[in-house]
């Protein structure tokens, strides 16, 4: 079954690279794995189970429906025109800035896909209107989805703190420099790739679809509406205002839609129809990809591929330092879930770090960072799929563009945390 699963995995990756319909490839590959164990119907049950990821889907649907409202009210045009007048076609500035903004927004949020959705809905259209290729625009957002490592309240830091017998503040202090170096490397490499590919200014939107219109008289209030939910989200999650509780991403998006209806004075019925039309489009395109990706991962789990990978790393303590980075990264790329790989490795390998002659705090931090980098590289991660919905690109295109930066960042981070 493991050999058969490996063959299916290779075929799936090949088909994704060849830009075949990703939902079809992922679902059928997962179904094939369930068939290997003689229970193809289990694949359909996995599909049903995957459709019940309410929290994730709520975020995706709310963000994309809000983006639909911004498009209908033309608030997005006002924001993009305003920024275009200030920055021009500064793709080489916008690309790394997008990665860093995503990274720092992620610090106050626990969800990579939620951050990608909230930031991507605003910044991806701006990048594309500035001439940045959609694949690079999406990759720029995905490349920053591990900023949560700098949040002492992040559950992953808490796990490492428990293993190392120290506080989460100490954990963050220990790896803050390494994590910042990693994100700068990834952002810089992506920018260099865009320059070499000439994707920082060569993209021209289809006729009639460019939102950058120099003749538009910018209304500052309308221009700020697309980022209103993001600001509201950051303020409530930072607890800067006493008595204000953290808000859900979906709630800020719906509040933003209501504010947009009031500010633009459009027919509330039209805004409502637009909002729910966006929900349907989001579920059919983006959420559909997430569902099929979950079926694919479930297939790998049921035939034992993921367990074999983890056990292989545990059985080789001599290469524990390398497996903490490379092993976790590869596992995250394959499964699309950084958290799953991080938790599995930390709870099975990092707890024995002292036996390998390694500081548990360093190994735990390296594992967490590698998992985040792997998720940023995975074409089946929820964050990549969300950005694919905004750009109409195959998620594999993001992987191609982020690969050099992630590899370099992983090597440098391994040295800083495990060998220095």
132, two tokens: 């940045």
One domain, residues 377 and 415: yes
Contact 238, 232 (CB under 8 A): no
One domain, residues 274 and 369: no
59, two tokens: 């975020």
One domain, residues 48 and 82: no
Place of tokens 């789990």: 301
Q: Which residues contact 100 (CB under 8 A, 6 or more apart)?
A: 144, 183, 187
Q: How far apart are CA 280 and CA 278, in angstroms?
A: 5
One domain, residues 198 and 62: yes
pLDDT value, residue 137: 92
Length of the chain in residues, anyone? 420
Classify burial at 419, counting beta carbons within 10 Å of its beta carbon; exposed 0-12, middle 13-18, buried 19 or more: exposed
Contact 78, 218 (CB under 8 A): yes
Place of tokens 């075949």: 20
Q: Which of 229, 253, 286 is the endpoint of a domain?
A: 286
Closest CA to 60 of 48, 49, 51: 51
Q: How far apart are CA 2 and CA 139, in angstroms?
A: 32
pLDDT value, residue 148: 82
pLDDT value, residue 208: 46
pTM of the model: 0.70
User: Helix (H, G, I), strand (E, B), or coil: what is residue 195?
Assistant: helix
pLDDT value, residue 205: 64
Q: How far apart are CA 107 and CA 157, in angstroms?
A: 12
pLDDT value, residue 89: 56
Q: How far apart are CA 28 and CA 220, in angstroms?
A: 48
CA 117-113-68 angle, to 5 degrees, is 25
pLDDT value, residue 408: 96
Residue 415 is classified by DSSP as I
Contact 311, 41 (CB under 8 A): no
Q: How many domains are there within the chain? A: 2
Give the distance, in angstroms, between the CA of residue 61 and the centroid of all CA atoms in the same chain. Answer: 15
pLDDT value, residue 314: 60
One domain, residues 45 and 67: no
Please write the tens of the pLDDT for every residue from 282-318.
Answer: 788 777 877 887 788 788 888 887 677 666 656 665 5
Residues (pLDDT < 50) of the chain are 208, 211
One domain, residues 304 and 248: no
Q: How far apart are CA 212 and CA 246, in angstroms?
A: 34
Q: Which of 260, 286, 312 is the endpoint of a domain?
A: 286
Q: Which domain does 223 fall in, by range?
A: 54-286
pLDDT value, residue 318: 57
One domain, residues 72 and 210: yes
Q: Which of 229, 254, 286 is the endpoint of a domain?
A: 286
Distances (CA, A) of 390 to 116, 141, 237: 10, 11, 25
One domain, residues 231 and 331: no
b/e map of 21-60 (b: 16 or more CB within 10 Å)?
ebbebbbbbbbbbbbbbeeeebbeebbeebeebeebbbbb
- In the chain, the largest separation of any two C-alpha atoms, in whole Å, equals 67
Q: How far apart are CA 312 and CA 367, in angstroms?
A: 16
Please write the tens of the pLDDT for every residue from 363-406.
Answer: 999 999 999 999 999 988 888 988 988 888 888 899 999 999 99
Closest CA to 291 of 83, 46, 127: 46
One domain, residues 75 and 47: no
One domain, residues 45 and 65: no
| Structural Rg of the chain based on CA atoms | 21
Q: Which residues contact 336 (CB under 8 A, 6 or more apart)?
A: 293, 297, 375, 378, 379, 380, 381, 382, 384
Q: How far apart are CA 182 and CA 188, in angstroms?
A: 10
One domain, residues 163 and 120: yes
Contact 348, 110 (CB under 8 A): no
Closest CA to 90 of 131, 136, 140: 131
One domain, residues 16 and 102: no
- What are the backbone angles phi and psi of residue 146, rounded to the nearest 5°? -140, 25
pLDDT value, residue 201: 78
């Amino acid at each position: 079954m493991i050999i058969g699963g490996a063959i299916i995995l290779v075929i799936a990756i090949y088909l994704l690279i060849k830009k075949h319909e990703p939902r079809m490839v992922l679902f059928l590959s997962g179904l094939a794995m369930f068939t290997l164990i003689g229970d193809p119907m289990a694949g359909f049950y996995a599909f049903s189970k995957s459709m019940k990821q309410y929290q994730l889907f709520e975020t995706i649907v709310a963000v994309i429906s809000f983006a639909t409202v911004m498009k209908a009210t033309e608030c997005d045009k006002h924001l993009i025109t305003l920024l275009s007048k200030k920055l021009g076609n500064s793709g080489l500035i916008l690309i790394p800035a997008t990665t860093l903004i995503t990274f720092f927004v992620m610090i106050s949020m626990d969800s990579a896909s939620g951050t990608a959705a909230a930031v991507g809905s605003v910044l991806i259209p701006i990048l594309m209107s500035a001439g940045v290729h959609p694949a690079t625009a999406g990759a720029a957002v995905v490349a920053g989805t591990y900023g949560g490592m700098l949040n002492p309240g992040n559950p992953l830091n808490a796990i490492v703190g428990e293993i190392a017998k120290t506080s989460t503040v100490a954990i963050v202090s220990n790896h803050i420099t390494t994590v910042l170096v990693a994100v700068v490397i990834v952002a810089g490499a992506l920018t260099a790739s865009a320059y070499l590919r000439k994707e920082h200014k060569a993209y021209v939107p289809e006729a009639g679809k460019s939102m950058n219109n120099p003749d538009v008289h910018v209304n500052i209030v309308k221009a700020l509406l697309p980022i209103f939910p993001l600001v509201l989200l950051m303020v409530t999650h930072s607890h800067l205002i006493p008595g204000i509780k953290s808000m859900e991403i979906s709630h800020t998006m719906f509040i933003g839609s209501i504010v947009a209806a009031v500010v633009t004075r459009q027919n509330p019925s039209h805004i409502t129809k637009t909002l729910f039309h966006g929900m349907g489009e989001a579920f059919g395109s983006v959420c559909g990809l997430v569902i099929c990706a979950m079926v694919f991962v479930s297939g790998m789990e049921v035939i034992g591929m993921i367990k074999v990978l983890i056990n292989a790393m545990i059985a080789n303590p001599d290469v524990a330092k390398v497996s903490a980075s490379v092993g976790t990264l590869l596992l995250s790329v394959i499964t699309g879930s950084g958290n799953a790989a991080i938790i599995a490795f930390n709870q099975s390998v990092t707890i024995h770090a002292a036996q390998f002659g390694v500081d548990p705090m360093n190994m735990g931090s390296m594992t967490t960072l590698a998992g985040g980098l792997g998720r940023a590289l995975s074409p089946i991660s929820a964050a990549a799929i969300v950005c694919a919905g905004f750009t109409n690109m195959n998620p594999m295109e993001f992987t191609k563009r982020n690969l050099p930066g992630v590899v370099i960042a992983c090597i440098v981070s391994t040295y800083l945390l495990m060998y220095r």
